[in-house]
Amino acid sequence: MDLLRLFTPAVIFSAAFMCTSIPLAFGGVNDNATLLLDFITTPEDTQTVTVVDPSPVFYSVQVNRETRTRFRVTLVLKNAVNLTGFTCDLVFDKNKIRVVDIHEDSGDLNFDGRSNIADVLTLAERYGASTLNNELAYFDLDPTGASQNKIDMQDINAVLPLINLPSLFWTSNPHVVRPGDPIRESVEIFESPDRSNEKGRIEEIVVVLLSRIHPIPEGFGFDGDARIADITFEIVGNSSGETALSFENVMAIDEATVITQTEIINASTPGSPAVVITLP
């Protein structure tokens, strides 16, 4: 198994998501799922169940000696079935709020939203091993894209805080693997906040679930509430009153979805009601 083979599913799915000219034939199993925004993470939230709270919690931060008001929200696909991929746009009023950050938490081990393949269960055992052209982890914490091409203490130290934390996001908790359950990891593609704020739209939020087992085992997809992305917004100036966040171009895929160069068959269109919040 080489790195190219591991990344092939992500390349196929991402290209399909981003090519709007491909004809879509819907009717997948996730038509009954619902895309929601969860404004609070509580102890009742688990890896597969999310208790959605629709009320934002506003807090203040100091930025360049200015006090700014922010709130966080998690993008959740409720009642997902056999989910292996998802994409949507999140539209907002750029005159009232702006994006500060978007990422996947916990499972995104390099913390920058870039693609990564990392079997953290055996990361420590592989200390000092090469990560090139073999089955070992691809792990790169350097934001410039440079790589040591081996697992080092920077990698180990990044993983240590996650060892006893349950992952509430789509990447499966690497430290709690059920018997017979393949290790699941995800690739996330998020555009920069600056680009989103120019348009008033976080465009093509893309996540793809990957399998480290080939061929992919039957029943590999995610069942439950998929926590897809954690987003921080900031209120623009003295904006107040109501503002809406809405979804467009929503699509979910599962094991039965067929993606070719010319069409996508059996994709799903989950429900995606707009969310209206009141700014302080």
In 74-192, alpha helices (H): 153-159
Question: For residues 38 and 76, is the Cβ–Cβ distance under 8 A?
Answer: yes
pLDDT in tens, 108-157: 544 444 334 445 555 666 677 766 544 444 454 454 545 566 777 766 67
* C-alpha–C-alpha distance, residues 132 and 198, integer Å: 38
Q: How confident is the model at residue 182 (pLDDT cuts 50, 70, 90)?
A: low
* C-alpha–C-alpha distance, residues 30 and 78, integer Å: 10
SS3 content of the chain, % helix, strand, coil (to 5): 15, 40, 45
pLDDT in tens, 248-279: 999 999 988 988 888 888 999 999 999 999 99
- pLDDT for 130: 67
The residue assigned the tokens 């350097």 is 142
DSSP annotation of 134 reads S
* C-alpha–C-alpha distance, residues 4 and 262, integer Å: 23
Percent of the chain with pLDDT over 90: 42
* C-alpha–C-alpha distance, residues 255 and 128, integer Å: 36
Instruction: Give residue 187's identity as a one-letter amino acid code.
Output: V
Give the three-class secondary structure for 47: coil
Check which CATH number belongs to the domain holding 199 and give it.
2.60.40.680
Residue with more model confidence, 201 or 44: 201
146 part of a folded domain: no
Question: For residues 261 and 23, is the Cβ–Cβ distance under 8 A?
Answer: no
Residue with more model confidence, 208 or 193: 193
Q: Tally Cβ neighbours within 10 Å of residue 56.
A: 19
User: What average pLDDT does the chain have?
Assistant: 77
151 part of a folded domain: no
pLDDT value at 162 more than 90: no
Question: For residues 100 and 232, is the Cβ–Cβ distance under 8 A?
Answer: yes
36 part of a folded domain: yes
- Model pTM above 0.75: yes
Q: How many domains does the chain have?
A: 1
The residue assigned the tokens 């555009």 is 191
Residue with more model confidence, 146 or 61: 61
N-to-C CA span, the chain = 53
- Partnered with residue 205 across adjacent β-strands are 88
> What domain range is 175 assigned to?
3-106+165-279
- pLDDT for 27: 75
- pLDDT for 196: 96
175 part of a folded domain: yes
pLDDT value at 23 more than 50: yes
Which range has the worst mean pLDDT, 47-51, 149-153, 203-207? 149-153
9 part of a folded domain: yes
The residue assigned the tokens 């996730």 is 30
- What the block records as the tokens of 184 is 């699941």
Q: How confident is the model at residue 7 (pLDDT cuts 50, 70, 90)?
A: very low
* C-alpha–C-alpha distance, residues 259 and 219, integer Å: 18
39 part of a folded domain: yes
Q: How confident is the model at residue 100 (pLDDT cuts 50, 70, 90)?
A: very high
273 part of a folded domain: yes
pLDDT value at 194 more than 70: yes
238 part of a folded domain: yes
pLDDT value at 15 more than 70: no
